Structure 1
Amino acid sequence: MKKQIASILLLFFMGQAQAGIRQYSADLDSSQWQLANDSRLECTLSHKIPNYGEARFYSKASRKMNMEFELDMLLLPDNYALAEVRSVAPRWRPGVGDHVLAKMKLHKQFTPSLPKKVAWAMLSELEQGMSPTFFYNDWYNEQDKISVGLSTAKFQKAYQKFVGCVGNLLNFSFEDISYTVLNYQSNSDEFTKSSAKRMAMISQYLSLDPDLELVLIDAYSDSYGGRWTNLKLSEKRANKIREYFVANGIDPSRIEASGYGEKRHIASNRTTLGRGKNRRVVIHMEKP
């Protein structure tokens, strides 16, 4: 009898504790996962949370595998706090326990985010039918708790597309090519093998994202040959690359190409290696 009374009291107090929780999550009908970005530059898997905002997992082109998660709230945090991220079992999986995945920092007027390791863990939990859920105190009413859950409904198909997109990302980023030094063969406007490879990377990137705000092209030569000849050769090299960028869809008004000939050597012209370093074009690109 005492055990029954204790159980009833426990259920009562649990109900009282739940009364102050505002829960946000998509139900079976409203749950929607979609591949918002699907390119070789960025992949974004998004999930709408009714009356709350949007959850997003995203990965970008880079030398290293990366992943981030952000919880885009309609109402941003009004002060600093911590949210507990738990993997919660759905109602149709009785007996499966919840467990903590991480703590997420909430900064005033900033969209909260989580790093790669936690983001991948959340995706893994969703794949297994668990619901990553965020719990924190309401910053407008400390007596209320907020619960924000990611629904597993309609997740699998969108997730498979997302994984395919991530596997097809470029293995370099804009930052890897935004400042590039190209070298030339002697007395020629033909690239060395390594520079030709670098230019191919730039070409591949521009075919996917030609939106550049500014392109600066500065060409130089070694000191072998006449100064006038070297100046004209450097100008030829700069203009050839300028034409290349225009052909790839860059607005000509955003490109500045200059040839400086023998000026601004970075190595000695007495050695073959030094002259090779001086025969160069420096490309600096900026995005909006």
Structure 2
Amino acid sequence: MMLTKAYVLLCMATSIFPAPVSTSKFYGAKPIDSVWEVTVDAPIECRIEHMIPNYGIATFTSHASKKSNLYFELEMLRPMGKTADVVLLSMPPVWMPGEPSEYLDRLHFFKQFDGYIHGKTAWSILAELEKGRFPTFSFHEWKNRDKRVDVALSAVSFQLPYTEFSGCISRLLPYSFEDIAFTTLHYQDSSANLNKSSMRKLSQIAEFIRYSPDIDLVFLATYTDTHGARSANQRMSEVRSRKLEEYFMSLGLPNDRIEVKSFGERRPIAENKSPIGRNKNRRVVISLGRSMS
């Protein structure tokens, strides 16, 4: 969508700190006050934050996942009082004379919510900061349509924290909580040991839990096939349950956050006449619960 000529000229004339005119309000950190800080650096989440004086906090976040992801949030001290369109511009700093402003996107910020952006536009904002430019959100003040509000992210002191943030993203686990929240693993025949592929999956679950203090429940349900006596199968199911319970406790989870059920040969999910069917029935179902922050 094209901006009006008058608006473009106004934007091009705006430097880091626009001249104080009655028709606009500007929020942005002065160079001496511009701070970017990596506040979370973990294999399941990376976060970098920037304080905008008298306005709020800008945050970029990326989470462990199979896919590359980036989320931006403009946390406002006073959230939008009215749902409104917001123009996203890339503004040149004063030390880039002659550089034009650039239109990036038109967004929609919702009443009483912080500004939230994800995907390509979030990556674009990060890229503009890396180039030393100032991504700026411009919109009409909801109380007074004659006044424009400009909220800028400062690129001053951005590079070193950005390098740290990028390093964190490169170390994120390649799977998310949703990928492991409900998992079925399988056992070797007549054994309390998982097969090789299930052991690898269990290691992934363990690695995620090590970095996730918000995991508040691990539910384990073990099952056997019908090969052998029913009582022996029940005992095997209980041995498997105890072994897994001890394993999750070794990760630091307290016993009251681990719930165990041993079903033996009850509740089969396949027929027990073939090796394939018996392998499906020799299983443990692991369900994870996560507290909402």
Normalised by the length of structure 1, the TM-score is: 0.93
The Cα of 1:210 is off from its aligned counterpart by 4.3
Q: Which amino acid aligns with 2:165?
A: F
Q: Does 1:271 align with 2:282?
A: no
Partners of 2:247 and 2:115 in 1: how far apart?
Answer: 41
1:25 aligned to which of 17, 24, 28: 28
Check whether the contact 1:104–1:113 (CA below 8 A) recurs between aligned residues.
no
Check whether the contact 1:210–1:250 (CA below 8 A) recurs between aligned residues.
no
Q: Does 1:76 align with 2:79?
A: yes
Partners of 1:229 and 1:163 in 2: how far apart?
Answer: 53
Which runs of 5 or more residues in structure 2 are unaligned? 1-8
Q: Which amino acid aligns with 2:100?
A: G
Q: Deviations over 1:106-132 (max 9, x none)?
A: 111111111121111111111111110
Could you say if the C-alpha distance between residues 131 and 16 of structure 1 is closer, same or farther in structure 2, counting changes exceeding 3 Å? Answer: closer
Tell me the number of residue pairs that the alignment of Structure 1 and Structure 2 aligns.
Answer: 277
User: Which residue does the alignment assign to 2:3?
Assistant: none
The Cα of 1:240 is off from its aligned counterpart by 1.0
User: Which residue does the alignment assign to 1:151?
Assistant: 154
1:224 aligned to which of 223, 227, 230: 227
Q: Which amino acid aligns with 1:78?
A: G
User: Which residue does the alignment assign to 1:141?
Assistant: 144
Q: Does 1:67 align with 2:70?
A: yes
Q: Which amino acid aligns with 1:133?
A: T
Could you say if the C-alpha distance between residues 236 and 143 of structure 1 is closer, same or farther in structure 2, counting changes exceeding 3 Å? Answer: same
Check whether the contact 1:47–1:56 (CA below 8 A) recurs between aligned residues.
yes
Q: Does 1:123 align with 2:126?
A: yes
Which runs of 5 or more residues in structure 1 are unaligned? 1-9
Check whether the contact 1:24–1:149 (CA below 8 A) recurs between aligned residues.
yes
User: Which residue does the alignment assign to 1:3?
Assistant: none
The Cα of 1:16 is off from its aligned counterpart by 10
User: Which residue does the alignment assign to 1:91?
Assistant: 94
Q: Does 1:169 align with 2:147?
A: no
Could you say if the C-alpha distance between residues 132 and 262 of structure 1 is closer, same or farther in structure 2, counting changes exceeding 3 Å? Answer: same
User: Which residue does the alignment assign to 1:47?
Assistant: 50
User: Which residue does the alignment assign to 1:35?
Assistant: 38
Q: Deviations over 1:181-210 (max 9, x none)?
A: 010000001111110110111121122224
Q: Does 1:108 align with 2:111?
A: yes
Partners of 2:24 and 2:180 in 1: how far apart?
Answer: 49
Partners of 2:143 and 2:233 in 1: how far apart?
Answer: 69
User: Which residue does the alignment assign to 1:247?
Assistant: 250
Partners of 2:214 and 2:76 in 1: how far apart?
Answer: 29
Partners of 1:16 and 1:203 in 2: how far apart?
Answer: 55
User: Which residue does the alignment assign to 2:5?
Assistant: none
Q: Deviations over 1:30-53 (max 9, x none)?
A: 100010111111111110000000
The Cα of 1:19 is off from its aligned counterpart by 2.5
Structure with the greater alpha carbon radius of gyration: 1
Partners of 2:153 and 2:259 in 1: how far apart?
Answer: 48
Seq. identity, %: 40
The Cα of 1:84 is off from its aligned counterpart by 0.4
The Cα of 1:18 is off from its aligned counterpart by 4.3
Could you say if the C-alpha distance between residues 204 and 261 of structure 1 is closer, same or farther in structure 2, counting changes exceeding 3 Å? Answer: same
Moved over 3 A (4+): 14-18
User: Which residue does the alignment assign to 1:186?
Assistant: 189
Q: Deviations over 1:99-154 (max 9, x none)?
A: 11112211111111111211111111111111100000111222211000011110
Partners of 1:83 and 1:67 in 2: how far apart?
Answer: 20
Partners of 1:130 and 1:278 in 2: how far apart?
Answer: 59
Partners of 2:212 and 2:63 in 1: how far apart?
Answer: 13
Normalised by the length of structure 2, the TM-score is: 0.91
Q: Deviations over 1:61-103 (max 9, x none)?
A: 1111100111000001112101100001112212111111112
Aligned-pair Cα RMSD in Å: 1.7
The Cα of 1:17 is off from its aligned counterpart by 10
